Amino acid sequence: MSAAKNTAFALVDCNNFYASCEKLFRPDLKHTPIVVLSNNDGCIVARSKEAKALGIKMGVPVFQVQDALRKHGIVCFSSNYALYADMSNRVMTTLEEEAPRLEIYSIDEAFMDLTGVERVTDLLAFGQRVKAKVDKWTGITVGVGIAPTKTLAKLANHAAKKYPATGSVVDLMNPDRQKRLLALVDVGDVWGVGRRTTAKLKAKGIHTAWDLANANAKVMRSEFSVVMERTIRELNGVSCLDLEWVRPTKQQIICSRSFGHKVTDKRELGEAIAKYMTRAAEKLRSEQRCCRVVSVFIRTSPFIPNEPQYSASLTVELPNPTDDTRDLLAVAERIFHRLYRAGYRYAKGGVMLADFYEPGTVQQDFLCVDSTKTNSKALMGVMDKINRSGMGQVFFASQGVSPQWAMKREHLSPAYTTKWDDLPKVW
DNA sequence: TCTGGGGTCCTAGGACCC
DNA sequence: TCTGGGGTCCTAGGACCC
């Protein structure tokens, strides 16, 4: 085996991100418990620290905790993606200035490659500076975990959040400190160890991260998978997961939603599918890809077991890859006609695109009439531009004008940072 | 009445080929 | 009675992540 590299990573993670974004623009709620809800106002997906302290759990359906929300005066927000995405961009831009090799891992966290940085500056001080800068420039508070591997950096970040005495920045480069922390951490809190695996590990007497770090990597690989072997090595300070600072291109695009109410009407359901396909096509073009494989699915709600259940999906391979909304809508409609069965109350539907190509790199199927519309690129370009500009919307009639099935978003905050009309006002 | 959405990776097993 | 062996590709399902 080659000599271990002296790697160093930082994981920067925004605290209670969605809830923090909402509070930024509502100083009146500074110390009020708030929660952010999933699409359709269905589940709790983010909680402010006050809401956490009141015992509101992550992921629970709102209706199950309605009483608690009311009793404690917890303020609810529907999720406001435009706001969170914009705030995320601001945070990431700030981080990039400190460490150009940045992997944006999710909307609220990023890995930094700090390899070699300790020769220039103290890593703890570096982390503290990053935290202070993000706080000052964006108003978002972050935790920073620094360690020789990504998995250990995750654990360092976990500690930074859990123990206030750390000031939300933990440097875990030192092996003795690693050992002490690993012994304190439940194995289920290790990155990559989910619910299923946790149960299996505990049955084998592996309870802490330290227990896992000391398991035999080869044996565990045969019993679990190569992912497990990697996790064990990473816990021991051997970096197996590189920084992916160039975003890999997507393998698939999914657009799906639960409906605001159950849908029975065929036209209405078809409009929803058309809407999702339109959105998926936009995402496809923003990736600068064409796709060959298209799937559509519709289903009833598994949460109402005494109602007749129906769930169906169908996948079609196109003769030629396309990124034209019109082609994709036509395919979606054909598939939908074959899937639809009357007499069910549909709860959710969606589309999936896969098998991507760079435009123009694929030999056209010459047995098939070339369906490439000559004005396709120009038309799609103009549509995308108008729809992005905030000036209004252009879309195809098949998605319907005033949809009944639209999402429930009863507690939506204004688009403070992305819409002129919604700019916060200071009196 | 009311239960999110969007991804990735890994593995096992079958089809198929020589 | 007795029916190879090895490789590749594809797919479905599981597990995990945020």
Q: Which residues, other chains included, contact A223 with Cβ-Cβ below 8 Å and sequence gap of 6+?
A: none
Q: Which residue approaches C14 most closely, CA to C1'? A: A196
- Evaluate if residue A1 carries a pLDDT over 70: no
Q: Which residue approaches B9 most closely, CA to C1'? A: A227
Per CATH, the homologous superfamily of domain A252-399 is DNA polymerase, Y-family, little finger domain (3.30.1490.100)
Domain over A1-244 is classified CATH 3.30.70.270: yes
**Which of chain B's bases lie under 7 Å from a protein CB?**
1-11
**Which of chain C's bases lie under 7 Å from a protein CB?**
14-18
* Rounded distance in angstroms from the CA atom of residue A96 to the C1' atom of nucleotide C14: 36
Nearest nt to the CA of A58 via C1' is B4
How much is the pLDDT for A385? 83
C-alpha neighbours within 13 Å on the C-beta side of residue A184: 11
* Calpha distance A77→A199 (Å, rounded): 34
* Rounded distance in angstroms from the CA atom of residue A120 to the C1' atom of nucleotide C6: 54
* Rounded distance in angstroms from the CA atom of residue A289 to the C1' atom of nucleotide B13: 32
Nearest nt to the CA of A302 via C1' is B3
Tokens in use for A62?
């709102």
Lowest mean pLDDT: which of A113-117, A316-320, A360-364, A386-390?
A360-364
Tell me: the pLDDT tens digits for A39-50? 999 999 999 999
Higher pLDDT, A386 or A243: A243
- Evaluate if residue A80 carries a pLDDT over 90: yes
Phi-psi group of A255: left, alpha or beta (phi > 0 → left; psi -120 to 50 → alpha; rest → beta): beta
* Calpha distance A202→A155 (Å, rounded): 19
* Calpha distance A121→A168 (Å, rounded): 19
Laid out side by side, the sheet with A102-106 consists of A102-106, A109-113, A9-14, A142-147, A169-171
Q: Read off the pLDDT of each residue in A136-140 and give the average, rounded to a whole number.
A: 97
pLDDT band at A269 (very low <50, low <70, confident <90, very high): very high
* Rounded distance in angstroms from the CA atom of residue A178 to the C1' atom of nucleotide B7: 31
The answer to whether A185 and A208 are in contact (CB under 8 A) is yes
Higher pLDDT, A320 or A392: A320
Nearest nt to the CA of A13 via C1' is C18
Q: Which amino acid is at A144?
A: V
Nearest nt to the CA of A222 via C1' is B11
Footprint of strand B on the protein (CB under 7 A): A 38-40, 42-43, 45, 59, 61-63, 221, 225-227, 248, 250-258, 261-262, 283, 301, 303-304, 347-348, 350
* Rounded distance in angstroms from the CA atom of residue A311 to the C1' atom of nucleotide B17: 36
In terms of DSSP bridges, do strands A109-113 and A9-14 run parallel, antiparallel, or are they unpaired?
A: antiparallel
Nearest nt to the CA of A194 via C1' is C16
Tokens in use for A54?
């009141």
Footprint of strand C on the protein (CB under 7 A): A 105-109, 154, 190-198
pLDDT band at A392 (very low <50, low <70, confident <90, very high): low
Q: Which residue approaches B2 most closely, CA to C1'? A: A63
pLDDT band at A395 (very low <50, low <70, confident <90, very high): confident
Kindly report whether the global pTM for this prediction surpasses the value 0.75: yes
Q: Which amino acid is at A65?
A: V
- Evaluate if residue A142 carries a pLDDT over 60: yes
- Evaluate if residue A238 carries a pLDDT over 60: yes
Nearest nt to the CA of A191 via C1' is C17
How much is the pLDDT for A48? 97
pLDDT band at A365 (very low <50, low <70, confident <90, very high): low
pLDDT band at A398 (very low <50, low <70, confident <90, very high): confident
Q: Read off the pLDDT of each residue in A193-201 and give the average, rounded to a whole number.
A: 96
The listed range with the strongest mean pLDDT (A5-9, A235-239, A361-365, A403-407) is: A235-239
Q: Read off the pLDDT of each residue in A203-224 and give the average, rounded to a whole number.
A: 96
Give percent of chain A with pLDDT exceeding 90. 77
pLDDT band at A364 (very low <50, low <70, confident <90, very high): low
* Rounded distance in angstroms from the CA atom of residue A288 to the C1' atom of nucleotide C3: 52
* Rounded distance in angstroms from the CA atom of residue A317 to the C1' atom of nucleotide B15: 20
Q: Which residue approaches B11 most closely, CA to C1'? A: A225
Give percent of chain A with pLDDT exceeding 70. 95
Nearest nt to the CA of A196 via C1' is C15
- Evaluate if residue A250 carries a pLDDT over 60: yes
The torsion angles phi and psi of A412, rounded to 5 degrees, stand at -75, 135
The answer to whether A419 and A425 are in contact (CB under 8 A) is no
Q: Which residue approaches B6 most closely, CA to C1'? A: A254
Q: Read off the pLDDT of each residue in A227-235 and give the average, rounded to a whole number.
A: 97
**Average pLDDT in chain A:** 92
Q: Read off the pLDDT of each residue in A213-231 and give the average, rounded to a whole number.
A: 95
Q: Read off the pLDDT of each residue in A306-323 and give the average, rounded to a whole number.
A: 91
How much is the pLDDT for A324? 95
The full set of domain ranges for chain A reads 1-244, 252-399
Q: Read off the pLDDT of each residue in A327-334 and give the average, rounded to a whole number.
A: 95
Query: How distant is the alpha carbon of residue A204 from its chain centre?
Result: 32
Nearest nt to the CA of A62 via C1' is B2
* Rounded distance in angstroms from the CA atom of residue A349 to the C1' atom of nucleotide B4: 13
Higher pLDDT, A175 or A378: A175
- Evaluate if residue A73 carries a pLDDT over 50: yes
How much is the pLDDT for A405? 75
